[in-house]
Structures are given as structure tokens and as C-alpha cells.
Amino acid sequence: MVKYRKRLFAATAAIALATTLAACGGGSDSDGSSNPGSSDPGADSKAGGTLYYYIYAPYEHVDPQRTYVGVELTNFRRTIYRSLVAFPISEDPEVANTPVPDLATDTGTKNEDATQWSFTIKDGVKWEDGQPITCEDFKYGASRVFATDVITGGPNYILSYLDVPTDKSTGLPIYTGPYNSTPEGQAAFDKAITCDGNTITYKFNKPWPDFGLAVASLSMMDPYRKDKDKGAKSNYQMFSNGPYRIEGSMWNKNKGATFVRNENYDASTDSTDIRMALPDKIEFNVGQTTETIYDQLIQDSGDAQYAVTSQRVPPAYYSQIVGDAEARSVLVPSPYVDYLVPNFRRLTEPAVREALKVATNAEGWITAGGGEKAYAPAESIVNPAVIGYQDNPAFSGPQAGDPEAAKKLLEDAGVQMPYPIKFTYPQSDTADKQAAALKETWDQAGFDVTLDPLGDTYYDVVQQPDKTSDVMWAGWGSDWPSAITVTPPLFDSRPNLTANSDGQDYGAYKSDEFNALVDEAANAADVDAQTAALQKADEVLGKDVAYIPLEIAQFFFLHGSKVTGYVNTPASSMYPDLGPIGVEQ
Amino acid sequence: MFAYVVRRLFIGVILLIVMSLVTFLLFFLMPQDPARVACGKNCSIAQIKQTEKALGYDKPALTQWTDFLQGVVVGREYPEDKSLREKAPELISDCAAPCLGYSRVNQVTVSEEIKEAFPVSASLAVLAFIMWIVGGILFGVIAAVTKGTVVDRGIVAISLVFYAFPTFFIGLFLLKFIAIKWGWVDVPSYTTIAEGGVGGWLSNLFLPALTLALFFMAGYVRMTRAFVLESMTEDYIRTARAKGLKRGPVLFKHTMRAALTPLVTMAGLDFAGLLGGAIITESVFNFNGLGKLAVDANVSYDLPTLIGLVVLLGSFVIVANIIVDVLYAVIDPRVRVG
């Protein structure tokens, strides 16, 4: 195991080195501009020019209270929407996961049990029309999250944290948002978030020690101007308080938008640790296919020389990423982990779940899925970029699967063999090959595997309590760099399991020991205590084989040759970080 | 004739109503829950219910369908919430009759979506139509008059190749080589005449229109060749030649008139179908026409947009059919309608 861990460390270091070298190759040498991948990304880059950002899938929301996708959050956080605190530009996870002040004067003060947080808003910060950003704007922004029949799709943690009573008939807070709440609801909300001059105070019904991390990661607590709010009609409206503003006022879902400089942005209220705002213009171009995007980036001519993308290199194009293109490519681990979920309603025998784990050929899955440019090995459901990450001892060691050892476990358990199991996964050509790789060693171990590929109905099926799947595929990424947004939402049976749905606890895992540790983490007054409880909770999950980690998806990107300061950071969810990125003039 | 057209139109309207009902029922028979998808991660059952309300899917399917029909006749407002209308009127969207619905996904009325997408599809259809009609007939006639020669065989073989290749392949090929690798034209991006002038409009439409045209052209070459060859064997053509008429006038005055009549009918129907959007071509070239709108609506479970498009595209086909039936009677006096 020690040897394996050393090998894994060496492999990780090699990937990191290769990534750094690849990124270094992307730097320009014509005008002494940036050296991406250095410890100070963008330091030598120059302001000016137009950066192009190629996007394939349309963004569903750009409203800050409705945005919930990592790449969208980071793109807007660096350009249009500022918040109380933000993550700095850094490739070092420890630095990148430590919030720094943005619109607030500091990173906030909490009371002893972390149930109350206060922030003071900086003087001189303004909206794009020159009006000052006030405490009331922050309060109004948070209030919109409560309008769950209007402001949909966004992160809603504040509904369960903010100290607003719950309406027992609906199971939702009695405050229903700024549009049509009752006076009682409004009064409860006004008590939970208070403004005293420029100081805003949030009162929670339970400790929220990592509130700062949540604020820096998600835009649900961002300020919003009441006079600009048109409810759901504001979904594609952008009203800036950052270094750029949108040309026009609306993001075009199918075309994107052009960001130009915001004349009312005062760089002295900001930090270059968060955003350097180098390009004069950023053109977001939505809708080209991934193949067309990469044909242009590989060709590296015209606008594509100044372009970055959030699309990964398709496996069919791997062979074309050579020479100059290879020097412009980066391979970095994503914040996402894919895993298998045994169904506890069907695989009730612990030895059977253990045998399934032992026989799982995660290496075969990775190879069939495209190899090291597509995936890296995982030893926990928690991503290594998350604060307090540790390998789960249950999953350390070789990951090629050991059918012989698994067979012995099944035989010792005295179960009928071959043991029939059904593996359910979202169908794709690649997933079919990966599933076949898993089936091979599972069958060798004494299981009789039926593959059950599903289309668009996947999540609707695996959430059903009466599903007939024995093991299912799933994937997850943290909402902020804390395991509190990973294991509790996925395995705490209390909010997940209902008569009609298994929620996100697809395997119907139920453990008092795990839930007690979740409660301990939820009631912890500081991040260290919370992390310690969550580390123990992950060990319980490993011991029970509540999940089997498969891999960490890799991000393999290419950018244009005239892009400077290119870097992918934990703060940008490992997508291109627009904080330091510029273009050659 | 008038009574016939009115009767066909009446049947057309009934057909559209039935089509909208079937689409509603099919949508709600899907195993997916659009509210769960729209609600995002970490949603409780109560929050999913709220999202269902926000999307307008909380009422029974039949009620939603009758509301839709009512909206077509008298218009609607979204959301239909009287208390919200009083407290926050700026949140309400009015949709005047004939209201085809309101897309909660895109936050606009379906009519506005169609108004934005239709010119893209129509531009593409018109240019592609001109290309394939001119090219198809020209090469078809050349193949017919050079029957059995290398030219004929070459034209037939090339048309077969284009007919066999899927549209997405031709589109991606043209895009990759002509626009990106060789840089002969810019990567197309739909530009209106107001934005880019006629030149900009045409140059951006060229590759996608060519993609569509090559496919249709291949079929029209083969059909034109067959119809012309068939006409050339008719007795009256032989008679004309025997009377000493030159080859050119016989071909253009007598042969082609007879040969092209069925092509005109087909071209009308193909053009009408294309007005409803070229799904693959629009997706490959990222042209936001009706075809791409339909694909996106399908992906995001956007029922109002789907219904609106079904009704619109159904109308195109029904109207085109009526026009073709009437044209038959006009072109061939032996045909009587009614």
C-alpha cells in the first residue's frame, strides 16, 4: 500500500509538473507577457485587447441568485458580480480556498458558535450606474432566494440556515421572498438579516462556520438592486458591480454577450489578487460545437488565437494535440468525482458490498473512458481540492479489481453464486465501454452482471425507492470547498429518503453513526472541528461501502497562442480563471 | 374551389388542435420530471413542488391544454397570479392573442422566440432553395442530354455521394476545411441584412445553405434527369424533332415544361418543410433558427416552446399541402378539386 501511495504521489506530481510545463508553454514570448502556471499568474500581462470565450451549452441562468454552475459562477465572479468575499487567484489549493475581502472590508466576524456573521461593506463601491452598493442591496439579494416559486434553480442553502421559522404545512420558510410575502414572513426575515449602516448581520438557526467559503463560492448572497428586479424576467439580465458591464443589459442565451469596461468600477476598491481585468473586452460566444471550437483552437488563427474555452478536448482530438497545440494545452483535475452507489435495499449483505468493492476495476473504467487525459484515480468521494481532504482507507490501494479476493468473500458469505446484480448508468458510447470493463471483473468474482444503460430518465429512475438497480453510477462536486457539501447531501438519510423518492441518497444508505457525525459537523462552531467530524463520517461510509470511488474527471483544455496569464485555479473550479487572463496586443 | 379551400382550412385547424393535445399528453407521459431538473441540486420535495408551480406544470395536463387554447384565442398573462399582479405587476408578462405560450426557460413569449428564430430559418431555406433548384435542374438536364457519357456518369456519381453523406458530415466538413483550415470564408455566424448588409447576410449564409443545398440538389439532379429522359421519349417530342425543330427549342420549350411540373410540386413541399427549420444544419453552424430552437426546447423540457413550434410547423405543412392541391388544379386542368 505504501508503495502504491508513493506511486500515486509520484503520478500526481508528474501530472502537476506536466500541467505546469504545458501551461508554461502557453505563455507568450513576443512581448514578455505572462508565464502561465507561474506562482504569480498574469503578473507580466498587459491590459487591453479582446478575449474570446467559447462556450458550447447555453447558460440556463445569469441572475446571481439563480446561477449554480461552477464555470458560470467563476466567469461572472471575476468580471461582473462582486461579493462580500472572494477566492484569490492561486494554484495552491490552500491559498485558493482561503477567502479574501471583496466588497467587504474584511472576511467577516462570527460569534462564538458561528450562528451569526457580520460584514462591513467598503466605502466607494458602486453599481454600474454609479449608485453606491448598500447593505440593503445585500439583504435584498438574499431575500430573493426565498421566492422559490420565482427564483428557481439556484443554490438554496440559506433557506435551511437563516433563522426564519418554517411553515409546517409547506415545509418551507414562512418568508416567501420579496414579491408576495406575508407581513409575518417579512418581519421574520427582517429579524434574521439586519443592516446597521454599512454593516450587514446574518443570524442563522445553526452554526455555519464555513459561511465565508459559501459566500465566496456561490453568488446566492450577492447584492441585488431592488429597482432592477423583474423576478423571473431578470434571468438573463446583468447589472454589474465589477470591472466589466454587459453591452446592452441582457445576456443572449443562444449567442452570449460582450463584456466591456465598467466606467463606474473603481479598481482601488478591489484587489488584483481577485481580478486583474486585463482585456478591454470579453466576448462570450455560445453555441459552437465542441469540435468546431477545437478545430479553431488547434488551427490557432484569427480570433481563436485570443480564445479560451470551458469545453474539454474531445477524446477524438487527443491525437491532434501535439507540437504547438500541446504547448497550449493544460491537463488539470476537475472538482468532480464519479462513484458507484450500491443499493442498500437490495445488497443487504455487507460481504456482498465488500466483494463488489474489491472486484471493481476502476483502472479499467478509466482506460475505457479515455485514459489519463480523461480521468485520474480517486480514493474518496471527496475531491482532493476540498479542505481537509484525506484518502479514505477503505479505497486505498490498487484499483484494478481483485476478482479472486472478491470471490472468496462471496463464498465465505455463503450467498448463492453467481450473484445476480444490475448495474444502472447513463448511456453513452463511452459509458458502455466503461461498464463493460466493470462487468468483466465483477463477473469473474462470481457476480452475474446485467448492464442497464438509461437515457434522459436516469436520475428519475435511480431516485425511485422501488428501483431494481443493485449498483448505480453517480457524480458529484462540492458547492464550496468543504466536505459538508459532499457527504451529508448524498448520504444523510433524513432529508433524502421519503416515501416517494430517495433524493440524492440513491443507494438508500441509512446509518445512525454517519448521521450523528453529520450532526456533529453541522453543529461545529469552527471549520477544523467540522472537518474532523466529516473525515470520520467519510471513513464510516467507506467501512459500510456506501460508495465506491471511480475517478476524478480531468480537465483537458486548449487556449489560443495570444492568450496571456492563462491559469486554471481551484477558485475557478479549474476552468480558465478570468482573473489574470489577458491577451497580447 | 373557394368552398374546398375553406373546408381544407377548417380541417387544418382541427388537426392543429389535435396535434397540440397529443404533444401535451406526450410531454406529461414522459418519465422525467421537468421541475426536478429545473430546481437544481439539493432541492427538497417542497421546493420541487414550488418549481413545478413556477414552471406552470402544477395543474392537470388537460387544464393546461385548455388554458393554452384559451390563450390562443384571447391571450394570457404569466404567471396567472392575481395577488402577484397586485403586489408586483412588473413581474407579470402579458402575452397577447394569439398567444402560443410563454417559455419559462427563456423568459419570453413563444411568439417572440419564433419571431427571432424564423428569419434565420427562412433565410437559410430561401438561399438553399435557390442553390438546389438552379443546381439540381441544371446538372439534371446536362446529365439527361449527355446520357451515357462520362459527364452523365460523373454527375450521377457525385450526386449519389452527396445524397448518401449525412448532412452533419457535409456541414462539419465544409466548416472545418473551407472556413477554419483554409480560411476561405469566416466561420459563419448569422447576420441580418440590417447588421451586415446583403453581402454580410449572404456570406454568412453561404456554407450552411450550401450544406442543405448539396443534399437536396443531389436528389433533384437525379429526379430532373429521370423526368427529362422520360419526356424525351414521348411521341410529341419525336414528332417535334421529325418536323425539323432544333434540339434546343425542343428541350427547353417542350421537354422541360413537361418534366419540371412534378418537380415544382415537390420543391414547394420541400421548401415549406425547410421553413420549419433545418435541425442538423442549424445545430452544426450554430444558427439559432426554428430547428435549433426545437432541439433546445426538447433538451430543457420547455413545453410551451415545443407546443408553439408544433403548431407553427404543422401550419406550414397544412398550408403547403393546400397550396399544392390547388396548384395541381391550376397546372393541370384535368384535375378537379372538391
pLDDT in tens, A392-439: 999 988 899 999 999 999 999 999 999 999 999 999 999 999 999 999
CA A24 – CA B239 distance, rounded (Å): 81
Pairwise pLDDT comparison (A553 vs B42), residue with the higher score: A553
CA B159 – CA B139 distance, rounded (Å): 9
Domains assigned to chain A? 58-286 (3.40.190.10), 335-554 (3.10.105.10)
ipTM for the complex shown:
0.83
pLDDT at A65: 97
Rg (CA), chain B: 25
Summarised one tens digit per residue, pLDDT across range A158-197 is 999 999 999 988 889 999 999 989 999 999 999 999 999 9
CA A115 – CA A211 distance, rounded (Å): 10
Q: Are the C-beta atoms of residues A490 and A476 closer than 8 Å to each other?
A: yes
Which chain A positions have a beta carbon within 8 Å of B88's beta carbon? Answer: 179-180, 231
User: Strands A50-55, A244-246: parallel, antiparallel or unpaired by DSSP?
Assistant: unpaired
Disruptive mutation site among B39, B49, B50 for chain A (greatest number of A CBs within 10 Å)? B50
CB contact under 8 Å between B42 and A157, yes or no, is yes
The three three-digit cell numbers of residue A278, written as one number: 486585463
Nearest to A472 by CA among A511, A509, A446: A509
Element (H, E) at A101: strand A100-101
pLDDT at B331: 65
Which residues share a beta bridge with A330?
Answer: A557
Residue of A nearest to B190 (CA): A255
Task: Using DSSP, state whether A318 is helix, strand or coil.
Answer: helix
Which chain B positions have a beta carbon within 8 Å of A505's beta carbon? Answer: none
Which chain B positions have a beta carbon within 8 Å of A68's beta carbon? Answer: 40-41
Q: What is the 3-state secondary structure (H, E, C) of A294-307?
A: HHHHHHCCHHHHHE
Residue window 197-256, chain A: list those with CB within 8 Å of chain B.
230-233, 235-236, 253-255
Which chain A positions have a beta carbon within 8 Å of B31's beta carbon? Answer: 457, 460-461
pLDDT at B265: 77
Region A469-493: mean pLDDT is 96
Contacts made by residues B66-70, CB under 8 angstroms, sequence distance 24+ = B68/B20, B68/B24, B68/B101, B68/B304, B68/B307, B69/B17, B69/B20
Asked if pLDDT for residue A562 goes beyond 90, the answer is yes
Asked if pLDDT for residue A16 goes beyond 70, the answer is no
CB contact under 8 Å between B84 and A170, yes or no, is no
pLDDT at B335: 62
Rg (CA), chain A: 24
CA B292 – CA B49 distance, rounded (Å): 30
- Among A149, A172, A296, select the one facing B187 at the smallest CB separation: A296
Q: Are the C-beta atoms of residues A259 and A270 closer than 8 Å to each other?
A: no
Asked if pLDDT for residue A471 goes beyond 90, the answer is yes
Adjacency order of strands within the sheet including A471-477: A375-376, A548-558, A329-342, A471-477, A419-426, A447-454
Q: For B13, phi and psi rounded to 5 degrees? A: -65, -45
pLDDT at B227: 92
Asked if pLDDT for residue A110 goes beyond 90, the answer is yes
CB contact under 8 Å between A233 and B183, yes or no, is no
- Among B40, B46, B172, select the one facing A153 at the smallest CB separation: B40
Among A23-32, A127-136, A243-252, the range scoring the smallest mean pLDDT is: A23-32
CB contact under 8 Å between A479 and B51, yes or no, is no
pLDDT at B338: 54
Asked if pLDDT for residue A27 goes beyond 60, the answer is no
Nearest to B230 by CA among B256, B210, B212: B256
CA B38 – CA B103 distance, rounded (Å): 13
Summarised one tens digit per residue, pLDDT across range A304-342 is 999 999 999 999 999 999 999 999 999 999 999 999 999
Nearest to A204 by CA among A517, A505, A551, A525: A525
Distances (CA, A) of A507 to A382, A516, B243: 17, 19, 88
Region B162-166: mean pLDDT is 89
Which chain B positions have a beta carbon within 8 Å of A461's beta carbon? Answer: 31
Region A526-531: mean pLDDT is 94
Distances (CA, A) of A331 to A575, B15, B165: 11, 55, 35
Q: Is A149 an 8 Å CB contact of chain B?
A: yes
Adjacency order of strands within the sheet including A109-110: A109-110, A116-120, A199-203, A193-196
pLDDT band for position A20 (cuts 50, 70, 90)? very low
CA distance A381 to chain B (A): 17
pLDDT at A283: 98
Amino acid code (one letter) for A368: A
Q: Is A150 an 8 Å CB contact of chain B?
A: yes
pLDDT at B333: 63
Q: What percent of chain A has pLDDT over 90?
A: 86
Q: What percent of chain B has pLDDT over 70?
A: 97
CB contact under 8 Å between A233 and B106, yes or no, is no
pLDDT, averaged across chain A: 91
Which chain A positions have a beta carbon within 8 Å of B42's beta carbon? Answer: 155-157, 479, 489, 504
Residue of B nearest to A255 (CA): B288
Which residues share a beta bridge with A339?
Answer: A474, A549
pLDDT at A163: 97
Summarised one tens digit per residue, pLDDT across range B279-338 is 899 999 999 999 999 999 988 888 899 999 988 888 888 888 888 777 777 766 666 655
- Among B40, B84, B180, select the one facing A296 at the smallest CB separation: B180
pLDDT band for position A44 (cuts 50, 70, 90)? low
CA B112 – CA B63 distance, rounded (Å): 24
Region B248-275: mean pLDDT is 82
pTM of the model: 0.87
Region A284-307: mean pLDDT is 95
Disruptive mutation site among A220, A228, A292 for chain B (greatest number of B CBs within 10 Å)? A292
- Among B47, B107, B186, select the one facing A232 at the smallest CB separation: B107
The three three-digit cell numbers of residue A119, written as one number: 460584514
Region A470-498: mean pLDDT is 95
Nearest to A196 by CA among A112, A143, A114, A119: A119
CB contact under 8 Å between A233 and B91, yes or no, is yes
CA A473 – CA A450 distance, rounded (Å): 14
pLDDT at A7: 36
Within 13 Å, how many C-alpha atoms sit on residue A323's CB side? 5
pLDDT band for position B188 (cuts 50, 70, 90)? very high
Nearest to B311 by CA among B101, B106, B115: B101
pLDDT at A29: 35
CB contact under 8 Å between B90 and A479, yes or no, is no
Summarised one tens digit per residue, pLDDT across range B75-84 is 998 888 788 8
CB contact under 8 Å between B40 and A155, yes or no, is yes
Residue window 470-509, chain A: list those with CB within 8 Å of chain B.
479, 489, 495, 498, 500-501, 504
pLDDT at A516: 97
The three three-digit cell numbers of residue A68, written as one number: 449554480
pLDDT at B249: 86
Asked if pLDDT for residue A62 goes beyond 50, the answer is yes
Amino acid code (one letter) for A482: S
Asked if pLDDT for residue A9 goes beyond 60, the answer is no
Q: Is A316 an 8 Å CB contact of chain B?
A: no
CA distance B37 to chain A (A): 8
CB contact under 8 Å between A170 and B33, yes or no, is no
Nearest to A254 by CA among A470, A62, A483, A521: A62
pLDDT at A584: 94
Pairwise pLDDT comparison (A87 vs A33), residue with the higher score: A87
Asked if pLDDT for residue B246 goes beyond 60, the answer is yes
Q: Is the peptide bond before A342 cis (omega within 30 degrees of 0)?
A: no
Q: Are the C-beta atoms of residues A565 and A580 closer than 8 Å to each other?
A: yes
CA A306 – CA A53 distance, rounded (Å): 9
Which chain B positions have a beta carbon within 8 Å of A301's beta carbon? Answer: 180, 183
- DSSP E strands in A192-234: the ranges are 193-196, 199-203
Q: DSSP secondary structure string, B67-128?
A: HHHHHHHH-EEES--HHHHHH-GGG-EEE-SS---EETTTTEEHHHHHHHHHHHHHHHHHHH
Residue of B nearest to A495 (CA): B44
